Amino acid sequence: MDNSWGKDGVRVSKIIRGEPNDEFFEATAHITLKGDVEAAYQDGDNSNVVPTDTMKNTVYAMAQDHLTADLESFARSLVEHFLAKSGVDEVSVELASTRWDRVGDQGFTGGHGERRTTRVASDGNSVRVEGGISGLVVLKTGASSFSGFPKDEYTTLPETDDRILATSVEATWIYDPTPSDTTATWSLVRTSLIDGFFDESSASIQHQGWQMATKVLEAVPEITEISFKLPNEHHLPFDLTPLGLEDKKIVFQPVNEPFGDIRFTVTR
């Protein structure tokens, strides 16, 4: 019988600490195995069925030493690993990398779904002009902490003084008066948002957002109010010690959901 089994959507990210620049990589893996597993279907014999959870764990385990910008090399390492398993005849590994562009020593922008937005409304007497940006994905590999928060019997989140901080910035702002060149002003706002995210360390995503808002209001006097939506896009540490490996704390599991949903407005 023709069959296959595998694991898809395995997202992994990794920091390579450097002086002065960190490197950051993110990829999504799709693993497919083929082999002699007819007994699993016909007799319930799983002796040759590599668990898909094992496939997932293998991606994280091997990423610690093998994941770099050379995706082909990492994919080959995974193929060779699974091909050595009993009952496995064919292996296919597909990897898709997420592009991150460097900003400074520990900062990156990515996503490439960025949009400029605007909204103009009038009641016939006055006109309200808003500018905006969405999909500005920013990430930094350090200079962010989170501690001193309230804890109860359901709190499992550990305090940290150094973590990955990532978000997809959605911001809208009100002009009063409207600048003569809104395109140049929008570019200045974007630069100020990036500077506010990367130039200063932060104690939370809220703290980082305040710094971003402050940079914008300082740079553009025509903006009277700016509102943010900052989802906290988590890269969770993946503990490799249960797999019998030294955990160098450089391998992470990116997750889309659930996510922190941070919203606020700063008025001049």
User: What is the full per-residue pLDDT of the chain (268 aa) written as tens digits?
Assistant: 899 999 999 999 999 998 889 999 999 999 999 999 999 999 999 999 999 999 999 999 999 999 998 899 999 999 999 999 999 999 999 999 988 989 888 999 986 689 999 998 998 899 999 999 999 999 999 999 999 999 999 999 999 999 999 999 999 999 999 999 999 999 999 999 999 999 989 999 999 999 999 999 999 999 999 999 999 999 999 999 999 999 999 999 999 899 999 999 999 9
What integer pLDDT is reported at residue 69 of this predicted model? 87
What integer pLDDT is reported at residue 162 of this predicted model? 92
What integer pLDDT is reported at residue 112 of this predicted model? 67
Task: Give every CB contact of residue 51 below 8 A, 6+ residues apart in sequence.
Answer: none
Which 3-state string (H, E, C) describes the chain?
CCCCEEEEEEEEEEEECCCCCCEEEEEEEEEEEEECCHHHHHCCCCCCCCCHHHHHHHHHHHHHHHCCCCHHHHHHHHHHHHHCCCCEEEEEEEEEECCEEEECCCEEEECCCCEEEEEEEECCCCEEEEEEEEEEEEEECCCECECCCCCCCCCCCCCECCCCEEEEEEEEEEECCCCCCHHHHHHHHHHHHHHHHHCCCECCHHHHHHHHHHHHHHHCCCEEEEEEEEEECCEEECCCHHHCCCCCCCEEEECCCCCEEEEEEEEC
Asked if residue 256 and residue 215 are part of one domain, the reply reads yes
Query: pLDDT tens-digit profile of 226-263?
Result: 999 999 999 999 999 999 999 999 999 999 899 999 99
Asked if residue 110 and residue 77 are part of one domain, the reply reads no
Active site residue 58: no
Asked if residue 167 and residue 39 are part of one domain, the reply reads no
Q: How many CB atoms lie within 10 A of CB 30?
A: 15
Active site residue 7: yes
Asked if residue 251 and residue 164 are part of one domain, the reply reads yes
CATH number of the domain bearing residue 245: 3.10.270.10
Asked if residue 196 and residue 112 are part of one domain, the reply reads yes
Asked if residue 87 and residue 133 are part of one domain, the reply reads no
Asked if residue 154 and residue 42 are part of one domain, the reply reads no
Asked if residue 118 and residue 84 are part of one domain, the reply reads no
Asked if residue 122 and residue 216 are part of one domain, the reply reads yes
Among the listed residues 14, 56, 215, 234, the single catalytic one is: 234
Among the listed residues 7, 56, 140, 215, the single catalytic one is: 7
Among the listed residues 28, 52, 178, 182, the single catalytic one is: 52
What integer pLDDT is reported at residue 54 of this predicted model? 98
- Total domains in the fold of the chain: 2
What integer pLDDT is reported at residue 138 of this predicted model? 97
Active site residue 52: yes
- Residue range of the domain that includes 67: 5-98
Last residue within a domain, chosen from 63, 98, 133: 98
Q: What is the pTM of this model?
A: 0.87
